[in-house]
Amino acid sequence: MKPQQTIHKPVEMEGRGLFTGEPATLRFFPAEPNTGLRFVRVDQPQPVCVEARVENVSKRARRTSLRNGTVAIETVEHCLSACAGLGIDNLRIELAGNELPSLDGSCMAYVQSLQKAGIVAQDRPREPFVIRDTVRVVDGDSELVALPPLRPDAEGLEIIYDLDYGQASAIGRQIHSVTITPETFAQEIAPARTFVLKQEADQLLAMGLGTHLTYDDILVFGPDGVIQNELRFPNECVRHKILDLLGDLMLSGRFLVGRVFARKSGHSLNQELARRLAEQAHDQRLRDLLIAPPAYDVRAVQRVLPHRYPFLMVDRILEVDGTRRAVGIKNVTANEEFFQGHYPGQPIMPGVLIIEAMAQMGGILLSQELEHKGMVAILLSLDKVKFRRPVVPGDQLVLTARAVHVAARRGHVRCTAHVARELVCEADIRFALTDAEPGSTRTGSEA
């Protein structure tokens, strides 16, 4: 199994955004294992972090953008493609500006910067998602199909792209196939640049987008071919479509093993496939966890948490990843005491108890750090609390807690509760970390 990778040292890039033309500074920093790719807007009054995951996608025409609240990270696909192509799992990407630099319209400058920073292996194995079931998404005559690998020992992703602008277009029809490795990506895909038809460029200019660009900055195709520029490959356009697709698929949150066939797809359809693959990966991971021996059974949970029936809201811990993430379950049964008085004719689990269950998961996660320090986690505040749908008897809550920041006296955990793949509740929970009572050996959340 291949190890996760990050970079050895920070590196900086500068440039103007493709659509806005606004200047931006981008800095890459090493990141810890299992933290993934995270963008941080450092030009805000308080830095705003946006994970490179499909649930954070903001709808935009002709590009892929991410959002956290009112703060956006525009045109991320070339940067993400470079990370995917080079095999970089974990990275902190600080941006001063609202759109990533476009540079020459390819992602070669990103590749060169990351290579200059040095790509290093980490002490955690990578867990790629091996596509097991065929997934197909369609929009008109555009389609994407994700397929299992041809061989059980396959390790990478093969992409076949069929681009067809029709015989009347100077672009015409182009087909390209590539198996993604750092070498093939850097040589065959990364140099391919953004392209548009002349009429599309005129429309964007009329909308006030890309007004800073010249024919040297982007491939513009007129009736007779590319205007005032030269192609790097005869089929540069289809190669750039593969570049965009690979970056968008990185939003699934995992490296993919299998095959992807694309026909005339764009960012919106790419993102939909990433969403479907993320759901498939989530379901597969949950099935594997549910049949595996638990990390903590209920007796071990009781040794960590001070709660007891009827306020112990965690039945089993499925997985604990150090101090970064913990996953557990709460089985919601019809004989729960609170159902006797909470909508007894149509029993619904009180939202405050869902929050309590998530807070207890946060306490379990923090206990990995606090156990040897003689401290406990006391619920301090709740933020960004959202309920998505009711929880009823028979549901199984899958509780996930991810550490955002842990300091000497404060802990910040992001928690979610799912039923199957459906998100039912989420919250940012902050804890005060206090000394345990004299003589006490118990640690955990007092939420």
Domain boundaries, the chain: 3-288, 298-435
Q: Which two tokens stand for residue 398?
A: 């899958």
pLDDT at 360 over 50: yes
144 secondary structure, DSSP code: E
Q: What is the mean pLDDT of residues 401-429?
A: 89
pLDDT at position 447: 44
Band (378; pLDDT cuts 50, 70, 90): confident
What whole-number distance in Å separates Cα of residue 315 and Cα of residue 144?
40
Q: Which two tokens stand for residue 370?
A: 């606090």
pLDDT tens digit sequence for 283-303:
888 888 888 888 888 998 888
What does each C-alpha distance from 4 to 112, 121, 254, 277, 420 come to in angstroms? 20, 6, 11, 20, 28
Domain 298-435, architecture per CATH: Roll (3.10)
- By annotation, the residues acting in catalysis are 267, 342
Mean pLDDT of 344-350: 89
Class of domain 3-288: alpha beta
Q: What pLDDT band is residue 5 in, cutting at 50, 70 and 90? A: very high
- In Å, how far from its chain's centre is CA 5? 16
Cα–Cα distance, 210 to 203 (Å, whole number): 10
Single-letter amino acid, residue 294: P
Burial class (CB in 10 A: 0-12, 13-18, 19+), 60: middle
Task: Specify the amino acid at residue 211.
Answer: T
Q: Is the dihedral of CA 405, 406, 410, 412 positive or negative?
A: positive
Q: What is the pLDDT of residue 441?
A: 37
Bridging pattern class, strands 157-164 and 256-263 = parallel
Question: Looking at this protein, which amino acid is placed at residue 417?
Answer: A
CB 28 within 8 A of CB 18: no
Positive or negative: CA dihedral 113, 31, 98, 246? positive
pLDDT at 369: 67
DSSP state letter for 33: T
Asked whether residue 443 carries a pLDDT value surpassing 50, the answer given is no
Record the pTM: 0.80
- 30 or 337, higher pLDDT: 30
Q: Are 66 and 161 in contact (CB under 8 A)?
A: no
pLDDT at residue 422 greater than cutoff 50: yes
Q: Is 15 exposed, middle or buried (0-12, 13-18, 19+ CB in 10 A)?
A: middle
Distances (CA, A) of 247 to 251, 340, 442: 7, 50, 45
Contact 100, 74 (CB under 8 A): yes
Higher pLDDT, 232 or 208: 232
Distance CA 50, CA 40 (A): 6
